[in-house]
Structure 1
């Protein structure tokens, strides 16, 4: 039993569409990430509860990644891009900081909340920079704010 030309073309078209769909389901390819950690100090003291964001300085990136981390009470942090603590893609970055206190007084860190100049919260004005190398075990030099 042979297939009619119309049925054959329809079958080929359906198989072609299914193949393209299967190939495109992966979405954009994720960039390789490299484990990266750092420390935030404000006035020489560890600053906990501050979110650290990295903005790529590569103008050719059409869909830049935004590695981020929240500092622990001792000021340390480990960057995340796609999966918890996976690090960041290699490259040059502008670093910004954001402190948003939690709503619940019971969940807030004890002591004085960290404060810093607003310029550190905007990638257009932040003077903070970081370099992530294509190697495991990157350590950003301590970020020290006055």
Structure 2
């Protein structure tokens, strides 16, 4: 009986792993990507755990959902679309930034940037990706007192 349980466990693991392949979501073709990286500084200092979202600007990109990146302790990020740090497909993108409290017992975490960079319609941060041309966005300077200040 024990060996039958192990067999079922192995089948379950195999089935679950099939869903973990680095492919595009169902119905979406996996597009070629180009590496995109940068550094986020807030008030002149590297910022840890800033969520950077790359949203297709109009119809210039065939990506169906935003790509994401999160900054490390040096403020550095590399964009992930399908797998870690694979970059973005060709197109124009608008960036948004949210910096939630790193450690908090409060279930309603607050954006330390006070929402100043979270609206894609108001974003001044954009990037154009051309296949085969890796992009280093350099330092992106943000402020806790709001956008453009």
Could you say which TM-score interval applies, normalised by the shorter chain? 0.5 to 0.7
Of structures 1 and 2, the larger Rg is shown by: 1
CA distance in 1, matches of 2:50, 2:56: 20
Which sections of structure 2, spanning at least 5 residues, go unmatched? 1-25, 144-149
CA distance in 1, matches of 2:130, 2:60: 18
Aligned equivalent of 2:35: 35
Counterparts of 1:1-146 in structure 2, within 5 Å, are: 27-59=27-59, 64-102=64-102, 115-146=112-143
Deviation string, structure 1 residues 114-135 (Cα, Å, up to 9, x no partner): 8324130111222211222212
Distance 1:97 1:83, change over 3 A: same
Deviation string, structure 1 residues 64-91 (Cα, Å, up to 9, x no partner): 2311110001000010001111111121
Distance 1:47 1:124, change over 3 A: same
Matched pairs, number:
114
CA distance in 2, matches of 1:41, 1:33: 25
Of 33-42 and 136-145, more deviation after overlay is shown by 136-145
CA distance in 2, matches of 1:88, 1:62: 10
* Divergent runs of 4+, >6 A: none
Q: CA RMSD in A?
A: 2.5
Shift of 1:44: 1.4
Which sections of structure 1, spanning at least 5 residues, go unmatched? 1-25, 106-112
More helix by share: 1
Q: TM-score, normalised by structure 1?
A: 0.66
Helix, strand or coil at the partner of 1:121: coil
CA distance in 1, matches of 2:92, 2:113: 23
Q: TM-score, normalised by structure 2?
A: 0.65
